[in-house]
Structure 1
Amino acid sequence: MTTPRASEVSVRPLVRTRSFVAFWTGQGISQLGVQLGQLALPVLAVSLLGAGEMDLGVLNAASMAAFLIVGLPAGAWVDRWLKRGTMIRADLVRMTAMSAVPLLWWAGALQMWHLYVVAAVVGVATVFFDVAYQSYIPLLVQRAQVADANGKLEATAQVARMGGPALGGFLLTLVSAPVLFAAEAGGYLASALCLGRVRDSEKRPERTAGSSLWAEIREGAVFVARHPLIRRVVACTALSNLFSSVLWVLMPLVILRELALGPVGLGVMMSIGAIGGLLGAPAGPRLARFVGEGPLLPLGLLLAGAGMLLFPAALAVGGGPLALVLLSIGEFGVSFGVLVYNVMQVSMRQRVCPPRLLGRMNASIRCVVWGVMPIGSLLGGVLGEQLGVAPALWISVVGTLLGVVPVAIGPFFRMRMLPDAEAE
């Protein structure tokens, strides 16, 4: 007798699951606030505080450094703690830190180093939130619903990314940038309140007698290093993130300074790009039925790399509507490709990993794939100052395309279905 795959078992629709809907709602509101803050941050730094290439590099590095510094122990700690409580505490810390920006601005005391500190604090809290978040989905929904849940959450995030920058660009014509930081703080508060309404059956894991923090960290890292598919995904994502960080740290300067498109232009590009992500998140499972789950990983990132080619092309145009069109199309392609890739690879990781290792598995991966981003951000600042913005963009694009190699030459093109835990 053949045992049916988890995906073939009848399950209750997610939209009728009260706890998932509460979780989903909180994340949607939080993502909208994050998008308002992310638009306001470069505008505040470049237009109001006069930040240059290296300033933006340090700012982006400060926001990502926590994944490299505390990423691994965070995974072990999260596996010892209740995931929902961890996310609530992280949201409250982020709310408090973001609230400091408008207060300092209104007091006339805001400086760049304040932004560095706020970015670092928010980064640390985000490490704990994200590790708990990715580890919580398989505990909140049934295994067969993991991909569907990730698709819904990513699609909602893309709606926020679509509407948030456009709304933020409009608001910046009426209010100063620091006001939008208050909106981001409000989003974190909404997330914490909605998480408080979620009910689950998670119990605090029992610790093995004599186990140490570093032994638990090592167990998660060894699982990642030894899994043949996850190992390739980590290498690919890390290389892509390293080189794409060079581009993203320079894009505010490209749009606000080099092309003089202003905050509205930046918001329009981000919003149109988010449409690509909105379509890409639910498209992943559907496309998998035609081309297979495995091939979507390299194909998604190749599409993203092709979209990035339009960014230096827009800079070569020299401004105006054509430059904005090229930037928007490029952002659309990047978002679509990255979301297709992310939904498939994250769902695979969640399915194949034993539940007790989820936090450490996610933390080990984040430590590598996000830990390279502060290095890429600083590299972007250095390349932008030493070589100029245009050469730095081309280096970023070529490096990102080369990052696809680990999944392009592996077994993924031959895999119609990515494995479940039962197949391990």
Structure 2
Amino acid sequence: MISLGDPDAVAPEKRDRLGLLRDHDFRDLFLSTTVAQVGYQITSLALPLAAVIALDVSEFEVGVLSSMTMIAFLLIGLPAGAWVDRMRRRRVLIVSDVVRAAVLFTVPVAWWTDTLTIWQLYAVALLIGVFTVFFDVSYQSYLPHLVGRDKLVEGNAKLETVRSTAQLGGPVLAGQLIEWLTAPVAMAFDAAAMGASALFLLRIKRREPKPEVARDSRIAAEIKDGLTFVLGHRILASIVACTGSWNLWMGAFMAMIVVFLPRDMGMTPGEIGLFFALFGVGGVAGAFAVGPATRWLGQGRVVWVSVAVTSPWILLIPAAEPGWRVWVGAVAMAFVGIGGVVYNVTQVSFRQRLTPDNMLGRMNATIRFVVFGAYAVGSIIGGVLGQYLGARTTLWIAAAGICTAFLPVFFSPLRNLRTLPEPEPEPAGAAA
């Protein structure tokens, strides 16, 4: 939904602004991420708007649709981590991109043949979610191999800048494509982006060693190792609780905002795209703020401060009315974006630095199982509340929950921690 490393590793040296981008393999990963993130922004807006505008579904159905992409983390999130630790991660990334491209392309085809239904959108969202599980777990586990642990903060910051920039321009592009072509047809562009992402990944020359798997290793035992490692570590457990709480309420919030903006505020797809683009403005600012914020606050304190200070701005969104006041809420999204990106860059880097190589996949899968599973549950909660209380009231409830998400990390050792603890030793006898 934490700054880790030496202070000098938080920000690349000023004398070399390109840094890791000079590395051919990282540059290909960077380009793959760029095109995939632009495509992702299109589908993130087009998929729910296809349901709301093209199919005119209910609030509850929107909540279910929103949950489908994340429910895969509950279904296969834990075993995916153990499986990824047994496979070469780049190969998993490529296969995941290709399959997602094929699945996405079925939506415009169904629209052109007048056969698109909400059930197909559910299936598409679920399949996208399944392969996103494998992609994301592999992606976060692959980066330490590609750049080395000493450059993780720089690598994550550069990749987060891509994601934030995509959040800036992607929604605007998505909104215009939806207005010009309809939401289902716009998703063809995401399919093309996923295909391009796979091609860039194929260009990476650095090869991974074949994972070593203990002969007597079992998936269930490996899953247990991952759960024990994450939940038994006081700081990691507090991060899971914070991010899970944030995602629970953000799932409810995002499920209903795509109903609230077109139906209650009367906004067009283009205006909705611009609204979400302001979240991207905050994200870009947050990516540049990671280094200064970490040096100022310390590597632990920045975690809870980044969320606590920026979350209350989200309360301006359910207070919005049609006209200029809705754009005040859009500006508020930018402040939320700043805190979200600072939090994400630092806590992901922390997890990667702290975790042994042979536990990376299971650690990432365990955390994503909890936090994205929470998002799926939150989306359903949002749909149910929206059906009976309306979109605006649901947004008020969800926004209040988001404002309390920082409490687990506030009441943890991170509250006053300025530097990171030493990495954990590799568990004795753990399967590789």
Aligned to 2:170: 164
**Alignment equivalent of 1:360, drawn from 351, 362, 365:** 362
Aligned to 1:229: 235
Aligned to 2:294: 288
- How big is the shift at 1:224? 0.3
Write the distance in 2 (CA, Å) between the matches of 1:423 and 1:283.
31
**Alignment equivalent of 2:39, drawn from 33, 39, 50:** 33
Q: Residue 67 of structure 2 contacts residue 380 of structure 2 at CA under 8 Å; is this kept in 1?
A: yes
User: How do 1:2-151 residues align onto structure 2 when only pairs under 5 Å count?
Assistant: 13-151=19-157
Q: Which deviates more, 55-64 or 297-306? A: 297-306
Q: Is residue 312 from structure 1 mapped to residue 318 from structure 2 by the alignment?
A: yes
Q: Residue 273 of structure 1 contacts residue 335 of structure 1 at CA under 8 Å; is this kept in 2?
A: yes
Q: Is residue 258 from structure 1 mapped to residue 260 from structure 2 by the alignment?
A: no
Write the distance in 2 (CA, Å) between the matches of 1:37 and 1:15.
28
Q: What TM-score, normalized by structure 2, do the two folds share?
A: 0.93
3-state SS, counterpart of residue 67 of structure 2: helix
Write the distance in 1 (CA, Å) between the matches of 2:218 and 2:7.
34
Identity %: 39
Aligned to 2:324: 321
Aligned to 1:332: 334
C-alpha spacing 1:206/1:394, structure 2 compared with 1 (3 Å): same
Write the distance in 2 (CA, Å) between the matches of 1:138 and 1:227.
21
- How big is the shift at 1:164? 1.1
3-state SS, counterpart of residue 181 of structure 2: coil
- How big is the shift at 1:59? 0.2
Aligned to 1:248: 254
Write the distance in 2 (CA, Å) between the matches of 1:237 and 1:357.
20
Write the distance in 2 (CA, Å) between the matches of 1:173 and 1:374.
28
Q: Is residue 219 from structure 1 mapped to residue 221 from structure 2 by the alignment?
A: no
**Alignment equivalent of 1:274, drawn from 280, 299, 303:** 280
Name stretches of at least 5 consecutive residues in structure 2 with no aligned partner: 427-432
Q: Residue 82 of structure 2 contacts residue 361 of structure 2 at CA under 8 Å; is this kept in 1?
A: yes
Q: Which deviates more, 354-363 or 404-413? A: 404-413
Q: Is residue 342 from structure 1 mapped to residue 340 from structure 2 by the alignment?
A: no
Aligned to 1:419: 421
Q: Residue 87 of structure 1 contacts residue 128 of structure 1 at CA under 8 Å; is this kept in 2?
A: yes
- How big is the shift at 1:289? 0.7
Q: Residue 152 of structure 1 contacts residue 282 of structure 1 at CA under 8 Å; is this kept in 2?
A: no
Tell me which amino acid in the other structure corresponds to 2:367.
Answer: I
Q: Which deviates more, 279-288 or 236-245? A: 279-288
Write the distance in 1 (CA, Å) between the matches of 2:96 and 2:176.
30
Tell me which amino acid in the other structure corresponds to 2:332.
Answer: G
Write the distance in 1 (CA, Å) between the matches of 2:223 and 2:288.
33
Aligned to 2:429: none
Write the distance in 1 (CA, Å) between the matches of 2:146 and 2:205.
9
Aligned length: 417
Tell me which amino acid in the other structure corresponds to 2:86.
Answer: R
- How big is the shift at 1:322? 1.9
Write the distance in 1 (CA, Å) between the matches of 2:422 and 2:257.
39
Write the distance in 2 (CA, Å) between the matches of 1:80 and 1:286.
38
Q: Is residue 191 from structure 1 mapped to residue 194 from structure 2 by the alignment?
A: no
Q: Residue 273 of structure 1 contacts residue 333 of structure 1 at CA under 8 Å; is this kept in 2?
A: yes
RMSD: 1.9
Q: Which deviates more, 169-178 or 139-148? A: 169-178
Q: Residue 317 of structure 2 contacts residue 330 of structure 2 at CA under 8 Å; is this kept in 1?
A: no
Q: Residue 234 of structure 2 contacts residue 412 of structure 2 at CA under 8 Å; is this kept in 1?
A: no
Q: Residue 280 of structure 2 contacts residue 334 of structure 2 at CA under 8 Å; is this kept in 1?
A: yes
1:368-393 superposed Cα distances (whole Å, 9 cap, x missing partner): 01111111111101111112222211
Q: Which deviates more, 121-130 or 255-264? A: 255-264
1:15-67 superposed Cα distances (whole Å, 9 cap, x missing partner): 11000001100110111111112221222111110022101111011111100
Q: Residue 294 of structure 2 contacts residue 302 of structure 2 at CA under 8 Å; is this kept in 1?
A: yes
- How big is the shift at 1:420? 4.2
Write the distance in 2 (CA, Å) between the matches of 1:86 and 1:172.
31
Q: Residue 285 of structure 1 contacts residue 344 of structure 1 at CA under 8 Å; is this kept in 2?
A: no
- How big is the shift at 1:286? 2.2
1:176-212 superposed Cα distances (whole Å, 9 cap, x missing partner): 2222111000111111100001122421211112111
Q: Residue 158 of structure 1 contacts residue 274 of structure 1 at CA under 8 Å; is this kept in 2?
A: yes
Q: What TM-score, normalized by structure 1, do the two folds share?
A: 0.95
Q: Residue 48 of structure 2 contacts residue 66 of structure 2 at CA under 8 Å; is this kept in 1?
A: no
Tell me which amino acid in the other structure corresponds to 1:409.
Answer: F
- How big is the shift at 1:158? 1.1
Write the distance in 1 (CA, Å) between the matches of 2:6 and 2:386.
51
- How big is the shift at 1:327? 2.2
**Alignment equivalent of 2:380, drawn from 378, 389, 398:** 378
- How big is the shift at 1:335? 1.0
Runs of 4+ in 1 over 6 A off after TM superposition: 8-12
- How big is the shift at 1:172? 2.7
Tell me which amino acid in the other structure corresponds to 1:61.
Answer: S
Q: Which deviates more, 23-32 or 391-400? A: 391-400
